Amino acid sequence: MLMKKLKSTKGQISMEVGILIAAAVAVAAVAVAAVAGYFYLTNVKNVSGDVGTTATGIIDEFSEAADNASKTNSTP
């Protein structure tokens, strides 16, 4: 019975189709991972630049506020 199934053309075609579908799913998963990785890395790169700009702006604002506070609170 097992030998008959192994020699069956219908079963072989079914198995080949299953392997092709599994391979297509694997390739699609790798492609999705690659695209997601690309967008993640480009987003991280863009955000890191924005964070630096924001941090510099906040430091400048705090420095200006400290200067204004020291000028206001200084006694002549």
* pLDDT for the residue numbered 8: 56
* pLDDT for the residue numbered 28: 93
Number of domains in the chain: 1
The answer to whether residue 19 is domain-embedded is no
The answer to whether residue 7 is domain-embedded is no
pLDDT by residue (tens digit) across 14-49? 788 888 899 999 999 999 998 888 888 887 777 767
The answer to whether residue 55 is domain-embedded is yes
Q: Model-level pTM greater than 0.85?
A: no
The answer to whether residue 48 is domain-embedded is yes
- Residue range(s) defining the domain that contains residue 64: 27-69
* pLDDT for the residue numbered 58: 87
The answer to whether residue 74 is domain-embedded is no
The answer to whether residue 75 is domain-embedded is no
* pLDDT for the residue numbered 1: 46
The pLDDT of 42-64, averaged and rounded, is: 80
Containing 58, the helix (H) or strand (E) segment is helix 9-73
Distances in Å between the alpha carbon of 30 and those of 9, 17, 20, 42?
Answer: 31, 20, 15, 18
The answer to whether residue 63 is domain-embedded is yes
The answer to whether residue 21 is domain-embedded is no
Percent of the chain with pLDDT over 90: 14
